[in-house]
Amino acid sequence: MRTIVKLKEGIHWVGAVDWNVRDFHGYSTPKGTTYNAYLVLDEKITLFDTVKGSLQSDLIHNIYKVIDPSKIDYLVVNHVEPDHSGSIRDLVERARPEKIFCSARGKKALLQHFHHEDWPYEVVETGQEVSLGKRTLQFIETRMVHWPDSMFSYLKEDGVLISSDGFGQHWATSERFNDDVDHAELMFHAKKYFANILLPYAPLISKLIAQVAESGLKVDMIAPDHGVIWRNSPLQIVAAYDEWAKQEPKQKALIIYDTMWRSTEIMAKAISDGLAENQVTFKIMDLSATHRSDVITEILDARAVIVGSSTLNNNMLPRVADMLCYMKGLRPQNKIGAAFGSYGWSGEAVKLITKELEEMKFDVAHPGVRLPYVPTHEGLRECVELGRQMAKRIKGAP
């Protein structure tokens, strides 16, 4: 395994691999992640981003493999979220950089994180260029990909796009390039990342992709701040983003639920019978067994989201409320929805779920199915019928 990773001559990966992180502000990361930082050797030695604070010794160690960190002239801060800025204070103390390049919102966020008016900020905007010596560095502001401060950095002569959170994956690996890892697994992690981090900004992403395509930027490599670097056919991930950002659903349904005594689970299976009869692909996801971030990955290309909960204390079950709250923030588009659930005496869950789905602008044409205590076969027929109706709508019926 290479211990010094070169993207191209003079461009080094000096980031950190976080093998053990399992939760990323609510997103499950069962295979960890990486925080990538890049060091460019030129007349002006330039570091792009840092790493999470707890791994700052890995960053410094990796920089030392190439040069003494005190030789760094420029620091580029593409994004201020602490997974990339957590080692900045230490880095600035060691390197005393001549300039810290960031967007206007980046400067504001750096001040609000580190409270250092005395750092040598240099605010840049889209299209602005800086010479590093042999190389030209160009900046592209990418507001909300993933914070207002975010920007990409483009090394013009090398065709290397350092893309911050864009095109990343939460996946810890010993390999650093896309052609060194399993492609199907890579695309799974990239899709999960898009669905859970970037989905609310999908319209901005479509615009950004169109803008970059129009500019005719030559992209030979895409180097994100998480996961592996897109070295082989880098534009494949841009094409995937373009498709995901459109949110054009497939003929696919998700039935997601939580259950107290399995009655709601039995109802979920009956609904799936109505989908299966009509050859609609579906997945049944029990929220006690499936993490919210894996549900969102599946929702990205689903047409129907059918949500079930038993009623508990006049409300839906907490895991269902958690799922709906998370989903609402990510603003999925082009969905139809319905609710179902078992109840004992009051049975508010179905109504409350329906209201939440409507607030998310889901097209909810069915009042939902609620059944008392343990479903009868007759009751389950209502569930099958709900599945049939959803299947018809998935296939294009109004």
Q: Which amino acid is at 115?
A: H
| Minimum distance from residue 83 beta carbon to ligand FEO (Å) | 4
81 is catalytic: yes
**Rounded Cα distance, 322 and 309, in Å:** 12
Residue whose C-alpha is closest to residue 333's, from 253, 247, 204, 206: 247
Whether residue 59 contacts residue 16, with contact meaning beta carbons closer than 8 Å, is answered with yes
**Rounded Cα distance, 292 and 244, in Å:** 19
189 is catalytic: no
Q: Tokens in use for 125?
A: 């905007």
Alpha-carbon distance values, 189 to 28, 170, 293 (Å) = 11, 6, 11
183 is catalytic: no
343 is catalytic: no
**Rounded Cα distance, 39 and 47, in Å:** 5
Residue whose C-alpha is closest to residue 154's, from 146, 145, 163: 163
User: Which one, 84 or 231, has the nearer CB to ligand FEO?
Assistant: 84
Q: How many angstroms from the chain centroid is the CA of residue 51?
A: 18
Whether residue 90 contacts residue 112, with contact meaning beta carbons closer than 8 Å, is answered with no
193 is catalytic: yes
| Minimum distance from residue 84 beta carbon to ligand FEO (Å) | 6
Count of residues binding ligand FEO (CB under 6 A)? 9
Binding mask 93-132 for ligand FEO (x = CB under 6 A): ----------------------------------------
Q: Which stretch binds ligand FEO (CB under 6 A): 65-73, 80-88, 286-294, 366-374?
A: 80-88
DSSP code at position 229: B
Catalytic site residue from 27, 193, 201, 343: 193
Whether residue 6 contacts residue 51, with contact meaning beta carbons closer than 8 Å, is answered with no
Whether residue 23 contacts residue 115, with contact meaning beta carbons closer than 8 Å, is answered with no
Catalytic site residue from 12, 84, 146, 170: 146
165 is catalytic: yes
**Burial class, 48, CB count within 10 angstroms (exposed 0-12 / middle 13-18 / buried 19+):** buried
Q: Tokens in use for 153?
A: 């950095």
- Binding ligand FEO (rule: CB under 6 A), the pick from 49, 58, 83, 301 is 83
377 is catalytic: no
**Rounded Cα distance, 39 and 154, in Å:** 13
129-148: contacts with ligand FEO (CB under 6 A):
146-147
Binding mask 209-248 for ligand FEO (x = CB under 6 A): ----------------xx----------------------
Q: Which amino acid is at 10?
A: G
| Minimum distance from residue 35 beta carbon to ligand FEO (Å) | 7
- Binding ligand FEO (rule: CB under 6 A), the pick from 12, 44, 52, 84 is 84
Does 81 interact with ligand FEO (rule: CB under 6 A)?
Answer: yes
| Minimum distance from residue 18 beta carbon to ligand FEO (Å) | 11
257 is catalytic: no
Binding mask 38-77 for ligand FEO (x = CB under 6 A): ----------------------------------------
156-195: contacts with ligand FEO (CB under 6 A):
165
Alpha-carbon distance values, 60 to 47, 113, 260 (Å) = 11, 21, 51
Does 258 interact with ligand FEO (rule: CB under 6 A)?
Answer: no
Q: Three-class SS of residue 338?
A: strand
Q: Which stretch binds ligand FEO (CB under 6 A): 78-86, 94-102, 250-258, 366-374?
A: 78-86
User: Which one, 227 or 387, has the nearer CB to ligand FEO?
Assistant: 227
| Minimum distance from residue 193 beta carbon to ligand FEO (Å) | 9
Q: Do strands 99-102 and 369-372 pair parallel, antiparallel, or not at all (unpaired)?
A: unpaired
What are the residues binding ligand FEO (CB under 6 A)?
79, 81, 83-84, 146-147, 165, 225-226
> Which residues are part of the catalytic machinery?
25, 79, 81, 83, 146, 165, 193, 226
